Amino acid sequence: MVFSDKQPSPTVRELAEARVLERIFPRLPHAEAALLGPGDDCAVLATPDGRTVVTTDMMVHGPDFRLAWSTAHDLGWKAAASNLSDVAAIGARPTALLIALAVPDSMPVAFLEEFCDGLRDGCAALAPGCGVIGGDLSVSATFTIAVTAFGDLAGRRPVLRSGASPGDVVAVSGDLGRSAEGLRLLFAEGVDENGEPDRQRAAALRSAHPHAIAGHLAPAPPIADGVRAADAGATAMMDISDGLALDASRLARASGVTIDLERAALGDDVAAALHGGEDHGLLASFPEGTALPGGFRHVGTVVSRSADAVLVDGEPVTPEGWDPYRAWDGQSG
């Protein structure tokens, strides 16, 4: 497993756990809500609201990312972004992360340091004040990243998937289909003659298509718009991680309604917007007449429940998107 083309660094096996932690802890972002951070058996997190929003997610080398395409910084950033967006999707402000890593013993410690830099930069850019309060480090032949994220509702009601009603406006904040375009390019042009991910070709794609490649490898979801949506009276909301069609069907079924999307609002590549995953934008419904907050834009309407959960201009759409057990075209990234 090749981690980097950079100068050699001591591996985690050579330094052992205690010295590895000594090197990476100072690079982790501080959580403003932490009363006690890394170093003890548990962290202590302030919860002034009296309720805690909690979510967790995993990224596994192979189905979720390829080291030939992603830098360590990319992976740290994406691990933060994908979990911060889940917290935002319920209308909360992200406050803290727990990070558990299972890494090959041949992994250079410099790779972990760069990963922590990505976490720090992702939190600073997307959710200032959110930081890492602890975690775990173990060994595995397969590089695995597990993140638990915490959030604060600050007195707001949680915005669930189940609150949409007929007549509500359906809106999206963030990208639709950009991650799918980046993944398509990587599988088309970022592989060698045998179809294997190639580091040099991926680097060339970063230069030629920075917008699309960054959209997949290091997405920048609109985290602050989760709180803005809650304050504006969003009736339902969720993160768009598996594609608009699939995630809209989940929100529609939870609410007992149908969502009718407008093709003209989905951009030039409708298929990518509907079925591409990992943009990590926000899908929400609002009462008719609501001034849409932040970066939200109108993409459809909630209608009475029908046989189909999702329509586009009144026509049924198959709710397909990213599924780790049924990856589209065998692709993952």
Judge whether 253 is annotated as a binding position: no
Judge whether 268 is annotated as a binding position: no
Beta-strand ranges (E) seen in 1-130 are 34-36, 44-45, 53-60, 93-103
Name, in order, each residue with C-beta under 8 angstroms of 270's C-beta and a sequence gap of 6 or more.
Answer: 263, 312
Judge whether 241 is annotated as a binding position: yes
Judge whether 242 is annotated as a binding position: yes
Judge whether 290 is annotated as a binding position: no
Name, in order, each residue with C-beta under 8 angstroms of 207's C-beta and a sequence gap of 6 or more.
Answer: none
Closest CA to 305 of 245, 242, 251: 251
Closest CA to 123 of 249, 30, 257, 4: 30
DSSP readout, 179-210? HHHHHHHHHHHSB-TTS-B-HHHHHHHHHH-H
List 94's β-bridge partners, or say none. Answer: 151
Judge whether 328 is annotated as a binding position: no
Nearest 5°: the CA angle 301, 302, 304 is 135
Judge whether 322 is annotated as a binding position: yes
- Three-state DSSP at 90 gives coil
Judge whether 161 is annotated as a binding position: yes
Phi/psi-derived region of residue 118, left when phi > 0, alpha when psi is between -120 and 50, beta in every other case: alpha
Paired tokens of 28: 């982790």
Judge whether 144 is annotated as a binding position: no
Q: Which amino acid is located at 149 in the chain?
A: A
Phi/psi-derived region of residue 291, left when phi > 0, alpha when psi is between -120 and 50, beta in every other case: beta
Q: Which amino acid is located at 302 in the chain?
A: V
Judge whether 120 is annotated as a binding position: no
Judge whether 135 is annotated as a binding position: yes
Q: For residue 14, what is the enclosing H or E element?
A: helix 12-24
Judge whether 41 is annotated as a binding position: yes
Binding-site residues for Mg(2+) sit at 41, 55-57, 86, 136, 239, 242
Q: Summarize the annotated binding site as residue ranges.
A: 41, 55-57, 64, 86, 135-136, 161, 239, 241-242, 278, 322
Question: Would you list which residues are annotated within the binding site for ATP?
Answer: 135-136, 161, 241
The annotation places the binding site for substrate at 64, 278, 322
